[in-house]
Amino acid sequence: MTVQRDAPARAGKRPGRIQVEASILIHAPAERLAALYLDHAHWSRLFPKTIRGVRLVRQSPAETVVEVDDRTAGPVVNVIRPRSAREISLEEFKPKFDATFRNSFEPTPDGTRYRVTADVRLKRPFAVLAPFLHGYVRRSIRRYVLEPMRTYAERESHQHVVDAFG
């Protein structure tokens, strides 16, 4: 398992802001990972620890708006914006914070470096906790986004090989 060392946390200019970055190497093509991330209808299988279900609100070529049934926060709105074939932006609006996550899928010789750059804006009264939450946010991204993507993508890739060679 190869995990790249993360960029140091940066205290945002605005109180209540957390900016972190985390990444992981996944043995799967970048295009496949981006397609998995964009397939919001299957997020409950991809991210089962955090998502019960997803309902499409509206879709256009520039963005997809979904309502996520979050396991802890209940219904929350997510706005998905593909920026390129290998970069997807996600805005999330939860009761305690609003966040923007930039998901990038960088091809490497061993697969793909999946990187999530988060800009979390805590709402009052939680904003005062921001200086203490950088590590928590980074660990949460690893546990609830990066690791599930790797597990799902690598298991799926392994299953295709098993099916092909039976």
Nearest to 141 by CA among 99, 85, 78, 80: 99
- DSSP string across 54-93: EEEEEE-SS-EEEEEEETTTEEEEEEEEEEETTEEEEEEE
Taking the chain, what is the end-to-end CA distance rounded to the nearest angstrom?
26
CA distance 91 to 65: 9
The yes-or-no verdict on residue 8 having pLDDT over 50 is no
Which residues lie across from 70 on neighbouring strands?
51, 74
The single-letter code of the amino acid at 17 is R
Q: Average pLDDT of 121-135?
A: 95
> Which tens digits make up the pLDDT trace of 100-127?
999 999 999 999 999 999 999 999 999 9
> Which tens digits make up the pLDDT trace of 148-158?
999 999 997 65
Place of tokens 């490497």: 108
Q: Give CA 160 to chain center in angstroms.
A: 24
The whole-model pTM stands at 0.85
Q: Average pLDDT of 58-81?
A: 97
In the CATH scheme, what is the homologous superfamily, with its name and number, of domain 10-160?
Answer: START domain (3.30.530.20)
Structure tokens at 105: 């899928």
